Chain A
């Protein structure tokens, strides 16, 4: 790993979080891409591909549920772990810190809505 970087490098195909595991952190992609997957009837379904600067695993910051999907490195990827406790403490002091995470979640709801419309209209 380059000595002048932050975070941790995951090799191509390496699992970063696994569906069903308990999670107490989210990740910010510093470099590279990751894919978000769920398994259905023994087949992997790719939900989305995320890249530089994007968040992944942010639902575990606000929920006490297990991970809803598996995240895997797509090629070599470097991610920074953001601890739930540290982030929630900071959000408690400064609620506006959550703006960007809410923006991300909002964008994903918009994408999902479009996807639902597409599926229901048989597109």
Chain B
């Protein structure tokens, strides 16, 4: 078992006390860094660590451990994810000089289509520009016929290798302490000692178990099961049926919190979030009138090409760092339900800047890395409240009708300020912090319009009485 945070609180408090003088561990010329996992968090960490070390003239060695081969179709090269690069991350990466080429972006997304039983409404991007990227994390589903697009994770890995990192292919099967440093060993290889260990293995990897018994006070995040299924339709058909819109569903199906259908290149990805997701819930969703209406008759009774039930984090890890070790991405702290790749970027970069500019002790990470994790966690708490409110809307037909009316009016009236549309856009895309979205819902004009639409929805057609 992982050590309990409570039992070790005194030890932990002592560990994060700033240590002055030469004994505080820092990266220097010749330092060796191990990055376990080469998904987005591991690659962003490696990229920025090397980039910033170069800027201040430190020569470090970065070894990236990865057992997956991203050039292989699932499951050999897949990291099990919906595969959306958010609007805010696309822009931030562009400002970092990391542009995502058409060989990686399978489809540019410029709008969201919100489907409810009361109707469907399209929400356009503010600038009518392709600002969200749909990608495959690996090389595609099990039955991929032709590798037309590059894996997103593979693309980032290539950038990192070009920067000078070394790829060590193989599964890490042993991690041990060697004095204050860490030893990493892969199957059939000898142990290597590192000055810093960055752990970016997500929460679906057995590698996390290797940290049990190392007395680093780390406890992995709490997680819930999700569902992802890929359907092959061919590029033309995907464009015809779904266009360049991501389709999201607010349906009154028990245990279903959120569902999305994402157009990719030749495939569409169905993602479901909810409680105790199982085959019957998936079937209820696929059989719903709204999904059938969205997918058109051409869809037929398509068989899924590939599916998985990955776990996603719903609460951050406890103590995601210690002396010379830092947990980034999903196995550290991530955003609730949305923009996991964006959170991987933020935590990876915060860890890399801390390691290069401050040091690699627990105290350094507590002072400079932990605030970023805490900001994400605090925002998730507001996100939970927002999703609770969304659940109430899902359950009540008059509320769904009010939301539909308000959004539709905004989308059809060019001159009207799109308050509800922007709230929904940022909720579904993860483009803005949940706190900011929540504050916008408290604006008097937003509240007045919402109440007006609720009143109209309840009173119109006498349907209010029969609502649940």
Contact = CB atoms under 8 A, between A and B. Distances in A.
Nearest to A97: B95
Contacts of A5: 102, 105, 108, 130
A87 B90 CA distance: 11
A43 B94 CA distance: 33
Nearest to B149: A4
A81 B126 CA distance: 11
Contacts of B100: 6
Contacts, number: 85
A80 B94 contact: yes
A2 B96 CA distance: 24
A22 to B, nearest CB: 15
Interface residues of A, number: 27
B97 A53 contact: yes
Contact of B129 (A8, A96, A100): A8
Given A53-B97, A96-B48, 14 more contacts: A1-B130, A4-B107, A4-B108, A5-B102, A5-B105, A6-B130, A8-B130, A80-B91, A80-B129, A81-B129, A82-B95, A86-B92, A87-B92, A90-B88
Contacts of A63: none
B162 interface: no
Interface of A: 1-8, 28, 30, 52-53, 55, 80-83, 86-87, 90, 93-94, 96-97, 99-101
- Greatest chain A CB density within 10 A among B129, B235, B346 is at B129
B133 interface: yes
A33 B349 CA distance: 31
A56 B408 CA distance: 35
Given A93-B375, A94-B349, A96-B349, A3 B97 contact: no
A82 B95 CA distance: 8
Contacts of A101: 95
Nearest to A52: B99
Nearest to A90: B92
A30 to B, nearest CB: 6
A80 B48 CA distance: 22
